[in-house]
């Protein structure tokens, strides 16, 4: 029997993907570093379905949050909750237009069986600023995640055995717009958008801006935007299986493959 991944005991690992369908107002989403360009709403839905199908095809349980048409950026669910072992942290987005997205994430957060906590005022924090590498949590300090939000996260995580490292991010929307991590913990990023590569224990530059974001699917497989073919080749050269999917309509809104879902495993 083919099993996509297995727990240490040999049983199939339980993996849930939290997603929300794109809003019909996606084109009106927040923009920070990019110019606004036309967005094809139908193509966005097609790309979103294809993205979700990648996970379904690998055996993930997909949990769809209710559509939130009044929230143009609601599809970028990663920003509303951050999952740790035993803990689900509901965020408080720095973008006012996005605050209303969080409450509808609460039932899904509770369904993970984890303790649900939240970032509170005056703290702000968005999930795109949180990068986990082993037991280290990098927290991007951005226009969306302030010092108080980072401090609240630190006080939640350090007693639970996580190392929390704050990193400056001024050249990209979120930390994970600039860097993500491979299964072996190597941090990858497109150097022009990374403030300080020396903050990471191991850093590998990638040749394309769209190549910075990977979703780790298992120890040898990652998901990448199909707009980064040279990065795909680079990662294949390191022995990884690289699946690609088109996310152009979300990239136009400064989104990427990571922010379209929350992975619970």
Catalytic residue annotation: 174, 259
Q: Is residue 215 near ligand CIR by the rule CB under 6 A?
A: no
- Minimum Å distance from CB 139 to ligand CIR? 13
Residue 25 or 58 with smaller CB distance to ligand CIR: 25
Residues 6+ apart with CB under 8 A from 117: 87, 88, 89, 90, 156
CB 98 within 8 Å of CB 52: no
In the list 23, 79, 139, 180, the residue contacting ligand CIR (rule: CB under 6 A) is: 79
d(CA 22, CA 45): 6
Q: Is residue 253 near ligand CIR by the rule CB under 6 A?
A: yes
- 73 marked as binding residue: yes
The residue sitting closest to ligand CIR, measured at its beta carbon, is 128
Residues 6+ apart with CB under 8 A from 212: 176, 177, 178, 179, 180, 188, 189, 190, 193, 206, 256
- Minimum Å distance from CB 120 to ligand CIR? 20
d(CA 182, CA 225): 14
Comparing CA positions, the residue from 178, 210, 180, 176 lying closest to residue 195 is 178
Q: How many binding residues for ligand CIR (CB under 6 A)?
A: 19
Query: What are the b/e assignments for 211-224, b being 16+ CB within 10 Å?
Result: bbbbbbbeeebbbb
- Minimum Å distance from CB 70 to ligand CIR? 15
Query: What are the b/e assignments for 19-28, b being 16+ CB within 10 Å?
Result: bbbbbebbbe
Residue 159 or 222 with smaller CB distance to ligand CIR: 222
Compute how many other C-beta atoms are within 10 angstroms of the C-beta atom of residue 54: 17
The first and second tokens of residue 51, run together, are 């993205």
Q: Is residue 259 near ligand CIR by the rule CB under 6 A?
A: yes
Region 29-58 residues binding ligand CIR, contact defined as CB under 6 A:
29-30, 32
d(CA 21, CA 121): 28
Site string for ligand CIR, 114-153 (x = CB under 6 A): --------------x-------------------------
Compute how many other C-beta atoms are within 10 angstroms of the C-beta atom of residue 244: 17
In the list 17, 22, 73, 150, the residue contacting ligand CIR (rule: CB under 6 A) is: 73
Site string for ligand CIR, 165-194 (x = CB under 6 A): --------xx-xx-----------------
Residues that bind ligand CIR (CB under 6 A): 29-30, 32, 73, 76, 78-79, 95, 98, 128, 173-174, 176-177, 253-256, 259
Give the annotated binding-site residues for substrate. 31, 73, 78-79, 98, 144, 253
Give the annotated binding-site residues. 31, 73, 78-79, 98, 144, 253
């Amino acid at each position: 029997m083919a099993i996509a991944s297995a727990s240490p005991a040999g049983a199939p690992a339980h993996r849930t993907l939290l997603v929300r369908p794109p809003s019909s107002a996606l084109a009106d989403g927040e923009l920070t570093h990019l110019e606004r360009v036309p967005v094809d709403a139908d193509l966005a839905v097609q790309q979103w379905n294809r993205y979700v199908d990648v996970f379904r095809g690998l055996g993930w349980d997909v949990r769809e949050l209710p559509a939130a048409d009044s929230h143009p950026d609601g599809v970028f669910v990663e920003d509303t909750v951050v999952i740790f072992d035993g803990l689900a942290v509901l965020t408080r987005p720095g973008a006012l237009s996005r605050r209303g997205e969080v409450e509808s994430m609460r039932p899904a957060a509770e369904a993970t069986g984890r303790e649900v906590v939240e970032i509170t005022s005056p703290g702000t924090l968005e999930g795109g600023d949180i990068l986990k590498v082993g037991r280290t949590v990098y927290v991007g300090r951005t226009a969306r995640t302030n010092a108080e939000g980072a401090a609240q996260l630190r006080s939640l995580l350090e007693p639970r055995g996580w190392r929390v490292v704050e990193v400056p991010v001024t050249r990209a929307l979120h930390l994970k717009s600039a860097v993500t991590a491979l299964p072996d913990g190597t941090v990858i990023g497109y150097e022009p958008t990374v403030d300080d590569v020396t903050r990471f224990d191991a850093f590998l530059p990638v040749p394309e801006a769209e190549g910075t974001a990977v979703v780790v699917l298992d120890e040898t497989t990652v998901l990448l935007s199909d707009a980064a073919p040279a990065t795909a080749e680079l990662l294949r050269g390191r022995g990884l299986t690289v699946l690609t999917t088109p996310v152009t309509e979300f990239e136009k809104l400064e989104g990427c493959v990571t922010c379209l879902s929350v992975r619970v495993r």
